[in-house]
Structure 1
């Protein structure tokens, strides 16, 4: 008898950092995903629980008091419950269809999916956008990645801090804007799945027109 594919719900065994990565990956993969039109619980509600847990985790690590750790653990519990409820929704919609399950960002019981952290993203390509001050970002996709992060900054002789990180589920046609015309920018990308985060790519550069 064939094994029915399903989203896994073992959040209780995950370390705090792993839980944050998995939740971010799933929220990113399901946001705007036409295969899951009415997530339950709502993704905005799960994001609020994740933001609360992430903030309390940061406090617990900074100060490390027993009280802060207890508050962090109390914040973790409703997040795990919500993620388990979301997995039930995903399984009810997917009905064992593997590609639909994988598009949710959830880990599955599939034996055909390599359980590895993504590789370093390659073939970063930057080109002019359709409007001035825009850049189009493309890169080589990875089958085991469920979401990608990218970041950018103005290229200077003395490197500055990278800007905010942005997420995408597509390796093609990502638009970065607004940018300063006449300045060189550099961009990095990394891949993420439920098993971890890949290395940042080598920077790609472009003169914004």
Structure 2
């Protein structure tokens, strides 16, 4: 089970949106039985929010000094909300519904990546060096690395595949036997141990 993480930073919000978010949090926490003793208190949050709103209104028609006062009031409100978010984090019982019921937002959990897709646009070309082959494939979503495998043609049950791992989606096979046909395939490597290989491509090394 993943851990519920309450978002404690508000710097991403525009000035008016910070006010709106503050109002939502105050409303949601008023009488909320899951968070009976918020720290800071709702009275303290409300006072910070009111001071911020007053400064925000004045700054819209004022000068540089009024803007600085607004920025200071915003910083104070963000700090108070950050502390409150930590309280919510510690008392939400790792329940996303309880956490969201506070009016705070939570980080989206990353969906687990299953078996990676079959490689697409796999190509094998003659490399820049003598007796070399250059293999490339389109990026595979979720792949941490790639396995490029090569063996001499024809492919049989007794073929021994040379396995090369690469963090890049390309690989250069060097020191091959010129005039020999090779079979090459590729698969993405992710968190799931099962691998789906591309179709086998054949190419003569020159």
Structure 1 segments, 4+ long, off by >4 Å, are none
Taking the aligned partners of 1:110 and 1:104, their CA distance within structure 2 comes to 16
Which residue in the other structure is 2:35 paired with?
Answer: 36
For the residue of structure 2 that corresponds to 1:8, the secondary structure is coil
The structure whose Rg is larger is 2
Shift of 1:111: 4.9
Which residue in the other structure is 1:21 paired with?
Answer: 20
Residue-pair matches, total: 110
Equivalent residue runs for 1:61-100 within 5 Å: 61-63=60-62, 65-100=63-98
TM-score, normalisation: structure 2: 0.51
For the residue of structure 2 that corresponds to 1:12, the secondary structure is coil
Which residue in the other structure is 1:57 paired with?
Answer: 56
Alignment partner of 2:101 out of 85, 96, 103: 103
Taking the aligned partners of 2:25 and 2:101, their CA distance within structure 1 comes to 9
Between the two structures, name the one with larger relative contact order (CA 8 Å, sep ≥ 6).
1
Taking the aligned partners of 1:3 and 1:90, their CA distance within structure 2 comes to 17
TM-score, normalisation: structure 1: 0.51
CA RMSD of aligned residues (A): 1.4
Shift of 1:45: 0.5
Which residue in the other structure is 1:11 paired with?
Answer: 10
Give yes or no for contact 2:4–2:106 (8 Å, CA) kept in 1.
yes
Taking the aligned partners of 1:68 and 1:4, their CA distance within structure 2 comes to 41
Shift of 1:6: 1.9
For the residue of structure 2 that corresponds to 1:62, the secondary structure is coil
Shift of 1:62: 2.1
Give yes or no for contact 2:9–2:78 (8 Å, CA) kept in 1.
no
Taking the aligned partners of 1:53 and 1:68, their CA distance within structure 2 comes to 12
